[in-house]
Amino acid sequence: MASPSPSHRRSLRKRRTLVVSAAVVAAGVGAGAVVMNANAGTVDLYHQTLAAKDGWASSGTGTTGGTKADSAHTFTVADRAQLVKALGSASDTTPRIIRIKGTIDANTDAAGKKLTCANYASGTGYSLTSYLKAYDPAVYGRSKLPSGTQEKARAAAQAKQAKNIVFKVPANTTIVGVPGTKAGISGGMLQIQNVDNVIVRNLSFAATEDCFPQWDPTDGDDGNWNSNYDSVTLRGATHVWADHNTFTDAPHLDSANPKYYGREYQIHDGALDITKSSDLVTVSRNQFTNHDKTMLIGSSDSEPSGKLRVSIHHNVWKGIVQRAPLARVGQIHIYDNYYDVTALNGYAVQYSINSRAKAQVVAANNYWKVPSSVKVARLLSGDGTGAIKGSGNLVNGTATDLVAAYNAASSKDLKTTVNWTPTLTAGLETSASVVKNLPTSLATTTGAGVLS
């Protein structure tokens, strides 16, 4: 396998903003962007907090990230070593603001030298050739997971890579890309685990790749290669706001993956996964593109109820195969998003939204662009226990009952009523004319590099 390559505003019609460059008054922040909000006064980008009633992350104490950071905990970082130092200990709850300038390559050492898959494998005894020989289904069989020398070596190599590319985010942290610098992280994973109050904005996440996928012959009828890293992963996290980010597999797309044992050697996992009873999350104005398993909400059907409350609004999904999102257990509000399910770079849609394990999904006022080759019944999925209450959704500009279309073609019906009513809905746009314009309006107001 080739080594990884380096590489809310709510509606602008409702909330006019004027962006100017200025010296930020707050100590230690230095020159930066200031957003002039006609309704709320001046708020600089690095201290901006989630607005009231803007989705589940605004619930209770709200999401303020590192807005209370002092000058000693305000950082501008441009490489991996600086990012690691700025993050500090994952158990340190001191508020901090981290401004990422330019693209950080996670696959580098402390001195900035490029690291490859071979570097991570060195000293572990792992080789793909030996692994393939050891667990060939024709010899090893298909009834159990790999074990023994080469599997231990693979796990050791994977652990070396994880130590380098996984960035553990503490509580009370804001991580923001500096405008105009193509800010982002290549080949890395932000891990937001068992912490509260985190903001991630204005960043591009690309090339998050696992050098050492594991073969699982028991996964499905034919087995699967499973990888280990999401670009951003929430595990037991609360009050998280992910806003104006871009997620992509580029430059190594799935079409370039080889096949072993007749199955794709998958080096990508999730883009933004929300699991392990994470709760009170708002995902707004992001772009998700060129990816397969994109957003997982709930890691298993047996997760306890009462958590996994997530709002997903004003995002663009383009060239996405599945999990946009896959939702389990929780109360999920999906509104004012744009889904273009036209096949892109080999990424062909399986479904957009999956509701399973008694998930309670409200999907309202979203727009789907659907080519003639894709049946409307394929846009949703479920296991027969999940619910999707749909309203105001458009397909190619026409009001469409997506749940009815799915249920008419499926033996496992989606339930059509839910046990909750969304109230944290700032920015919700219900007008059919506005929803019809989402493909145009979201094209220039979502993703990294839009905030100034």
Q: How far is CA 330 from CA 54, 93, 311, in A?
A: 18, 27, 11
β-strand partners of 35: 19, 43
CB 4, CB 107: distance < 8 Å: yes
- Token pair belonging to 43: 């708020």
Catalytic residue check, 154: no
Q: Which residues of 429-440 are buried (b: 16+ CB within 10 A; e: fewer)?
A: beeeebbebbbe
Gap between the Cα atoms of 219 and 144, Å rounded:
10
> CA-based Rg of the chain, rounded to a whole angstrom?
22
Q: Give the DSSP letter of residue 201.
A: E
Tell me the H-state helices in 137-232.
Answer: 137-140, 149-165
CB burial of residue 99 (10 Å; 0-12, 13-18, 19+): buried
Catalytic residue among 96, 323, 328, 356: 323
Identity of residue 260 = Y
CB 19, CB 45: distance < 8 Å: no
Identity of residue 181 = T
Percentages of the chain per state (helix, strand, coil), in multiples of 5: 15, 35, 50
| Contacting residues for 148 by C-beta, under 8 A, at least 6 apart | 134
| Torsion angle (degrees, nearest 10) of CA 68, 69, 70, 76 | -150
Identity of residue 119 = N
- Token pair belonging to 402: 């997506």
Nearest alpha-carbon partner for 37 in 65, 68, 8:
8
- Token pair belonging to 318: 């383009």
Q: How many residues does the chain have?
A: 452
The catalytic residues are: 323
